[in-house]
């Protein structure tokens, strides 16, 4: 056969990878694996088989983790934590560096074992998964070295429980273990039931690297083992990658526990092709987007949106390319399509495709192995946005397609999903690319590329794709907490009537909704008294309908997020100017509600003014970053507003509390629904008179009064609220976290402790980070 004929037919290979070393490693352990706890493997117990999905061959028996195993692993991690957390950053960096070097030295063994256990092509394991895992340990060795100097005032969380999926077994381990160790935490990791072997090999190199006993612990098992780990009271943080359904259950299980939580969940990522794109490059990118790892990728470009005037041509070219894909033994270096991880997953993919009656289904006409969990590359065209397969994650080598006419329609279709993990767009027009990318509801956007990852660039989603970021400084911060834990909050002290007569005209403070004063929907109000019983006025009692009205007003003010930082700064300065002009009045109001001294009340007003100035200053200075990633291109980490934030104000500072929450939210382009403190709400209701005269657009700030306990659930469960903050003295942290599980919105709750609102911890970057989402936009360049 001539070289031109080879290129024409693509008939070359096979080129099999030698698996003998991987089999020898399994044999060294006698094909039986216990757990890795306290620096040693336990004896094998009740076990299950882990199989090669390409052949059905049983590779080894892996122990099923019990509650006792989880307890032992958490105890070992807790015992190791004090010493590990007190090591200098340099010494932790040396351990992480040793792990990175050993991952390199054993890279071929890891790659072969990963392919045998997972079914992905050896080229992917060898060239993508294992090098990226190494990169994460190298990168986080650097973060460990720099942590103390660059993030002063932070400390590790404690024992971290980590649950990872089967699609990228070693890479997901690296994404979770490396930042946890760099920050000074210890870990208990549960690998996926289907793919435990590379995690156990990693345990072997932890011993070889001399990692202190108990710093890394690995407990195998199914979902019950994962649930035992999540529920364990000794776990300070849970990090989970997996399905949205399970992520929602974990959010509910950890609600009110005080455990930190990050979730990286499912996706239905759009792959947008404009008519000016390099179509052949876009098709090659699409092959990587959806058929990489057999489509078993949470950020797979599984929803093709192609401009209508090129759709027929694009689909024809794509089908031609699909017909030249090669499926077969994943250990063959010439293979494009490997095996689906397990018969259960194969059956799920088959059922979802076979039940679909919409559009036109095309299976690539390629030779498929007669045995093993193989599914052909599939394209389904002509679907409508509401069709089931356009909305639900298939998690297999199946691409669904629809068309659009204009860029605006492309954005609308791309965002027509409950997910928000990643998105890809192809165009030769840089103006179009940089216009569309910020409009996409996704944590990661690739321009003229796809599936680019690096340890320096944060990865994670929005909406029902979860919250939190992995990679970069933002990923490290997810494993740290402020060294100052704050002070326990005291219950709201609602003053009772006294004998003093009310002086002046009776006044009921209304709500502030959509830039206007509004009466409570229920028509109820309550009296506000001073410490000596003087009647100061009345405030409305908000209900679920008032929450809906305020959120609707906030949604209508979405244009605030598109304004520039300079404009937002000007308005915050203007609020401060108008508040300062009425400073004496606000001080008198604070004094009347709280009984504090005149000097103390004036001090609160002055600090509120300073805080407004601080966030006005930050409005155009809380910058993103251009991440140093190893490509010819740039990964831009952009700080974007979260959206609509519901916030429960503290009791300790009647004026400073609301200001400390609305100012960072506004500065970053968010809209807020403030629930005033219960004991002294009149300072918050007086504040809307200042907002009215300060050019604040209607709906950007909305103020309600009422019972925090009654309003926590309606606000947390509202599907159009993007985040909820609580600094309430009421015990509502658990209610908010549990309620947030429905839409998996972000929460920031105090768990009964508040910062010092009058001191340094009452403002700063923690508030700005809570008010922003990091979107990573990858822009390769060059010919």
Query: What residues are labeled active site?
Result: 264, 298
Neighbour-count burial of 155, counting CB atoms closer than 10 A to its CB (0-12 exposed, 13-18 middle, 19+ buried): middle
Q: What is the phi/psi pair of residue 336, to 5°?
A: -95, -40
Tokens of 663: 């100012």
Report the 10 Å Cβ neighbour count for 614: 19
- Cα(390)–Cα(402) distance, integer angstroms: 9
**Secondary structure in 3-state letters for 414-433:** HCCCCCCCEEEEECCCHHHH
Sequence-separated (6 or more) residues with CB below 8 Å from residue 316: none
Which H or E run includes 109? helix 107-118
- Cα(716)–Cα(154) distance, integer angstroms: 28
Whats the size of the chain, residue-wise? 783
SS3 content of the chain, % helix, strand, coil (to 5): 45, 20, 35
Using CA of residue 480, residue 486, residue 488, residue 493, what is the dihedral sign? negative
CA distance readout (Å), 760 to 149, 260, 616, 684: 18, 23, 17, 22
Closest C-alpha to 63, from 205, 170, 190, 173 = 190
Angle of CA points 572, 733, 746, to nearest 5°: 55
Q: What is the phi/psi pair of residue 319, to 5°?
A: -65, -40
- Cα(279)–Cα(275) distance, integer angstroms: 8
Tokens of 487: 């002070």
- Cα(194)–Cα(51) distance, integer angstroms: 7
Angle of CA points 692, 696, 698, to nearest 5°: 80
Q: Are 33 and 41 in contact (CB under 8 A)?
A: yes
- Cα(428)–Cα(656) distance, integer angstroms: 50
**Secondary structure in 3-state letters for 168-202:** CHHHHHHHHHHHHHHHCCEEEEECCCCCCHHHHHH
Q: In the β-sheet with 671-675, what is the strand arrangement from edge to edge?
A: 516-518, 511-513, 701-704, 671-675, 644-648, 723-726, 746-749
Sequence-separated (6 or more) residues with CB below 8 Å from residue 191: 164, 169, 173, 198, 199, 200, 218, 220
Q: Taking phi first (over 0 means left), then psi (-120 to 50 degrees means alpha), and beta for anything else, what does residue 185 get?
A: beta
What's the N-to-C CA distance of the chain in angstroms?
33
Beta bridge partners of 648: 675, 726
- Cα(768)–Cα(554) distance, integer angstroms: 19
DSSP per position, 379-419: EEES--TTSHHHHS---SSEEEEEEESSHHHHHHHHT-SS-
- Cα(300)–Cα(603) distance, integer angstroms: 54
Tokens of 685: 């209701």
Sequence-separated (6 or more) residues with CB below 8 Å from residue 633: 449, 778, 779, 780, 781, 782
């Amino acid at each position: 056969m001539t070289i031109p004929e080879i290129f024409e037919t693509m008939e070359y290979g096979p080129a099999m990878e030698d698996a003998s070393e991987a089999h020898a490693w399994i044999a060294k352990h006698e094909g039986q694996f216990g757990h890795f706890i306290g620096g040693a493997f336990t004896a094998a117990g009740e076990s299950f088989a882990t199989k090669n999905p390409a052949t059905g061959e049983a590779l080894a028996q892996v122990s099923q983790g019990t509650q006792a195993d989880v307890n032992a692993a958490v105890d070992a991690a807790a015992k190791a934590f004090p010493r590990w957390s007190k090591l200098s950053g340099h010494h932790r960096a040396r351990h992480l560096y040793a792990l990175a070097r050993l991952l390199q030295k054993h890279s071929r063994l890891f790659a072969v074992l990963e392919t045998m256990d997972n079914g992905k092509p050896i080229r992917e394991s060898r060239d993508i998964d294992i090098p990226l895992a190494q990169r994460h340990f190298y990168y986080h060795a650097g973060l460990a070295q720099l942590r103390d100097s660059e993030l002063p005032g932070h400390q590790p969380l404690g024992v971290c429980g980590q649950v990872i999926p089967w699609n990228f077994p070693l890479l997901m381990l690296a994404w979770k273990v490396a930042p946890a160790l760099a920050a000074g935490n210890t870990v208990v990791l549960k690998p996926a039931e289907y793919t435990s072997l590379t995690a156990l090999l990693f345990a072997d190199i932890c011993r070889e690297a001399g990692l202190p006993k108990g710093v890394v612990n690995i407990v195998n098992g199914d979902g019950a083992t994962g649930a035992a780990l999540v529920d364990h009271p000794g776990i300070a943080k849970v990090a989970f990658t997996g399905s949205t359904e399970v992520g929602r259950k974990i959010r509910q299980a950890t609600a009110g526990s005080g455990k930190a939580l990050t979730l990286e969940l499912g996706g239905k990522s759009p792959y947008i092709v404009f008519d000016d794109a390099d179509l052949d490059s876009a098709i090659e990118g699409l092959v990587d987007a959806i058929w990489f790892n057999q489509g078993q990728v949470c950020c797979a470009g599984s929803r093709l949106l192609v401009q209508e005037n090129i759709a027929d041509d694009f689909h024809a070219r794509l089908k031609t390319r699909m017909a030249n894909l090669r499926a077969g033994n994943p250990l063959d270096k010439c293979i494009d399509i490997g095996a689906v991880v397990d018969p259960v997953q194969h059956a799920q993919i088959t059922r979802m495709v076979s039940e679909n009656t919409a559009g036109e289904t095309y299976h690539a006409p390629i030779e498929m192995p007669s045995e093993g969990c193989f599914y052909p590359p599939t394209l389904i065209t002509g679907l409508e946005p509401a069709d089931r397969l356009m909305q639900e994650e298939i998690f297999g080598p199946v691409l669904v397609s629809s068309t659009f006419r204009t860029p605006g329609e492309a954005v609308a279709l791309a965002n027509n999903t409950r997910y928000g993990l990643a998105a890809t767009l192809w165009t030769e027009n840089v103006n179009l690319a940089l216009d569309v990318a910020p409009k996409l509801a996704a944590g990661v956007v690739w321009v003229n590329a796809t599936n680019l990852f690096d340890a320096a660039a944060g990865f994670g989603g929005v909406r029902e794709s979860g919250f939190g970021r992995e990679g970069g400084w933002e990923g490290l911060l997810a494993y740290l907490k402020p060294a100052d834990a704050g002070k326990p909050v005291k219950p709201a002290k609602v003053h009772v009537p006294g004998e003093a007569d009310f002086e002046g005209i009776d006044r009921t403070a209304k709500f502030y909704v959509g830039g206007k004063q509004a009466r409570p929907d229920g028509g109820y109000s309550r009296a506000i008294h001073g410490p000596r019983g003087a009647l100061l006025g009345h405030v409305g009692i908000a209900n679920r309908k008032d929450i809906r009205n305020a959120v609707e007003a906030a949604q209508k003010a979405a244009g605030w997020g598109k304004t520039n930082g300079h404009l937002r700064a000007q308005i915050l300065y203007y609020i401060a100017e108008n508040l300062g002009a009425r400073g004496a009045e606000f001080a008198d109001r604070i004094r009347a509600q709280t009984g504090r001294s005149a000097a103390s009340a004036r001090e609160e007003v002055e600090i509120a003014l300073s805080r407004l100035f601080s966030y006005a200053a930050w409005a155009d200075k809380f910058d993103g970053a251009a991440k140093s990633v190893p490509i010819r291109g740039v990964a831009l980490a952009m700080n974007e507003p979260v959206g609509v934030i519901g916030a429960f104000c503290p009791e300790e500072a009647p004026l400073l509390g609301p200001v400390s929450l609305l100012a960072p939210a506004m500065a970053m382009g968010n809209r807020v629904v403030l629930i005033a403190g219960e004991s002294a709400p009149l300072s918050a209701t007086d504040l809307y008179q200042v907002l009215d005269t300060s050019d604040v657009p209607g709906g950007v700030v909305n103020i309600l009064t009422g019972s925090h306990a009654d309003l926590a659930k309606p606000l947390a469960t509202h599907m159009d609220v993007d985040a909820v903050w609580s600094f309430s003295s009421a015990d509502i942290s658990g209610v908010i976290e549990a309620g947030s599980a429905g839409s998996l919105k972000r929460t920031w709750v105090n768990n009964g402790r508040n910062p010092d609102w009058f001191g340094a911890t009452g403002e700063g970057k923690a508030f700005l980070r809570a008010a922003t989402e990091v979107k990573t936009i990858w822009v390769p360049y060059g010919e």
